[in-house]
């Protein structure tokens, strides 16, 4: 928002995710960050988020991480 103000924009495009579950919201945050190839991660936090989503039954590959990457981050990852 600050960048938009600095550029003189009067409108800012946003995505409204109403009706999402907590797991969907958290998975979207991970997937959105995963899209940036140069993103850096707090690996401890990433492991914790992925493990929590897995426990909620979320299909972890939907976060954008491959099965191999998920296997390295958290043991015994099962998609969905």
Mean pLDDT (whole number) for 4-33? 87
Q: How many domains does the chain have?
A: 1
Q: How many CB atoms lie within 10 A of CB 74?
A: 19
User: 56 by DSSP, 3-state: which?
Assistant: coil
Say which range, 9-18, 33-42, 60-69, has the weakest mean pLDDT.
33-42
Answer yes or no: is 57 within a domain: yes
Q: pLDDT class for 4, splitting at 50, 70, 90?
A: confident
28 is in which domain, residue-wise? 20-80
Answer yes or no: is 51 within a domain: yes
Answer yes or no: is 9 within a domain: no
């Amino acid at each position: 928002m600050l960048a938009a103000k600095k550029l003189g924009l009067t409108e800012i495009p946003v995505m409204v995710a109403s009706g999402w579950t907590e797991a969907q919201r958290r998975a979207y945050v991970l997937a959105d960050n995963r899209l940036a190839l140069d993103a850096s991660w707090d690996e401890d936090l990433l492991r914790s988020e992925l493990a929590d989503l897995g426990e909620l039954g979320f299909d972890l590959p939907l976060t954008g991480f491959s099965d191999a990457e998920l296997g390295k981050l958290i043991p015994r990852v099962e998609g969905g």
